[in-house]
Amino acid sequence: MSTETVTIQKLGAQGDGIANGTDGPVYVPFTLPGETVAIARIKSQGTVMSITTPSPDRQEPHCRHFGPDGVNGTCGGCTLQHAGDALYRGFKRQLVIDALKSKGLTPEVGELVVAHPGERRRVTFAARKTEKEMLIGFNQAESHHLVNIEECPISSASLIARLPAIKAIGAALAVNAEAFRITVLETATGLDIAADGLKTLSDQQRRKATETVLSMRGIARVSVNGEILIEPVKPMLDFGGVNVSPPAGSFTQATKPAEEAMAELVLAHVGKAKRVADLFAGTGTFSLRLARIGRVHAVESEDKPLAALDHAARNTQGIKPVSVERRDLFRRPLMTSELKVYDAVVFDPPRAGAEFQCKELARSTVKKIAAVSCNPLTLARDLAILVEGGYRITSVTPIDQFLWTSHVEVVATLEK
């Protein structure tokens, strides 16, 4: 380990400050461009010892767990609480611009749709039971050290108010001192709690956990490793006026405002399309809203989310028909011949993107495409394929859903 003083030149894609070292870039978390900092350095990684010249964009962190001075925060949940709003928002928008530019694309990129504290309805906590207490929080960056949290300004206040109940359920489920994960989703009917990474529960533990849940109010469901342990009431989500009960542990957009912003952009672009394909449809975030416009064909690889979508569509009046298809779009994308019946296509794939599906879309006659992504790099690759196939990018909108992190969502719209 060596000690040296460096000047931060820019923020990297993960939100770390980057300084030019004599032997290449040095990555220094919790720093901002223009700052002069003394660091302890191991290879290309620097740890801040002190800040000689702070940036005017530096701000007080919002949370005690981030670190008292916004440097070397203990909780690994956030990485950018020390960055002022203008710098932070510009950084996220620039991530999208740079990703597109790397593939030779230079469309106009809109301003970031901002996230606010208290909006997160879905949070994944690290959890571990010790001899003294039940710990719930986040792992420190680059470490397995669990920081037990008492507050979390990004999360819904009502969710954080239930931390004692979540800890009690975690304690009832924990088999030993090994770490596991607890994902908490706030739904209209109560908290949906999904524990993963636990060993198989004994009958005694099942009874204890069930009794713990029944002694509480406001818990809709508890599942362990994807299996429902107890469901006092079905957890319900509202997708544009359609009620859906998501399967245990299934993917859900982390904040309602981000979901609504994405849906608004998608619906506005699709317009009055009579037939729409929604690919990587999940539990119907877009499908069930699109069904107010036209007929929808929802394609998803996992059967449980698809069944939830299908059930919601069949039990909702006032929407157009929704057909469903279980299909692995990575291995078996919708072919050009199958796409010719659709006026519009929406796709929202996992981080790996939709490369093979976009190659088929590029050869299709579909008039409008809405691409939703949580990874600007794979989105840029997919958009380049579509542009080469004759599509024109009409808008690109970055959306902040994971506040004070380097993650950014994007909605891009295209026309043939």
Q: What is the pLDDT of residue 125?
A: 96
Same domain, 388 and 372: yes
If asked whether residues 397 and 308 sit together in one domain, one would say: yes
Single out the catalytic residue among 63, 152, 358, 374.
Answer: 374
Amino acid, res. 269: H
Report yes or no on 341 lying in a domain.
yes
User: pTM of the prediction?
Assistant: 0.94
Q: How many separate domains does the chain show?
A: 3
Q: How many CB atoms lie within 10 A of CB 335?
A: 12
- The whole-number pLDDT of residue 69 equals 54
Q: Output the domain CATH number for residue 25.
A: 2.40.50.140
Pick the closest to residue 280 from 208, 188, 346, 182 (CA basis): 346
Is the same domain home to 132 and 225? yes
Q: Looking at the domain assignment, is residue 241 inside a domain?
A: no
Residue 189 located in a structural domain: yes
* CA 260 – CA 248 distance, rounded (Å): 22
Q: Are 325 and 279 in contact (CB under 8 A)?
A: no
Q: Which pLDDT belongs to residue 181?
A: 97
CATH number for the domain spanning 149: value is 2.40.50.1070
pLDDT at res. 266? 98
Say whether both 265 and 388 belong to one domain. yes
Q: What is the pLDDT of residue 159?
A: 96
Residue 10 lies in a domain: yes
In a domain, residue 246? The reply is no
Q: What distances in angstroms separate CA 95 from CA 11, 26, 124, 371, one per listed residue?
A: 10, 19, 24, 17
Strands 2-11 vs 368-373: parallel, antiparallel or unpaired = unpaired
Instruction: Give the integer Cα–Cα distance in Å for 274 and 290.
Output: 10
348 annotated binding-site participant: yes
Q: Which residues, listed in sequence order, are joined to residue 181 by a DSSP beta bridge?
A: 126, 196
Alpha-carbon distance of 271 to 289, in angstroms, equals 12
Same domain, 289 and 351: yes
What is the pLDDT, as a whole number, of residue 145? 86
Same domain, 97 and 184: no
Are residues 157 and 21 located together in one domain of the fold?
Answer: no
User: Which pLDDT score, from 0 to 100, does residue 73 have?
Assistant: 56
Taking the CA atoms of 310, 314, 318 and 322 in sequence, report the sign of the dihedral they define. Answer: positive
User: Is residue 75 flagged as an active site residue?
Assistant: no
The annotation status of 253 as a binding-site residue, yes or no, is yes
Domain enclosing residue 26, as ranges: 1-58
CATH number at residue 284: 3.40.50.150
Please give the C-alpha separations between residue 252 and each of 79, 205, 261, 289, 296, in angstroms, as whole numbers.
Answer: 22, 28, 15, 15, 20
CA dist list (Å): 348 to 211, 277, 379? 39, 11, 10
Q: How far apart are CA 43 and CA 13, in angstroms?
A: 19
The verdict on 136 and 101 lying in the same domain is no
Same domain, 394 and 332: yes
β-strand partners of 98: none
The Cα–Cα gap between 238 and 283 comes to 11
The per-residue pLDDT for 140 is 84
- Indicate whether 339 and 214 sit together in one domain: no
Q: Give yes or no: residues 397 and 288 share one domain.
A: yes
Looking at residue 77, what is its pLDDT?
86
> Do the domain assignments include residue 64?
no
Question: Does any domain span residue 67?
Answer: no
Q: Are residues 24 and 105 in the same domain?
A: no
pLDDT tens, N- to C-terminus, the chain (416 residues): 788 999 999 999 999 999 998 889 999 999 999 999 999 999 999 989 999 999 999 999 999 888 645 555 578 889 999 999 999 999 999 999 999 999 999 999 999 999 999 999 999 999 999 999 999 999 887 778 898 998 999 999 999 999 999 999 999 999 889 999 999 999 999 999 999 999 889 999 999 999 999 999 999 999 999 999 999 999 999 999 999 999 998 999 999 999 999 999 999 999 999 999 999 999 999 999 999 999 999 999 999 999 999 999 999 999 999 999 999 999 999 999 999 999 999 999 999 999 999 999 999 999 999 999 999 999 999 999 999 999 999 999 999 999 999 999 999 999 99
Rounded-to-integer distance, Cα 398 and Cα 412, Å: 9
Dump pLDDT digits (tens) for 109-162.
Answer: 999 999 999 999 999 999 999 999 999 999 887 778 898 998 999 999 999 999
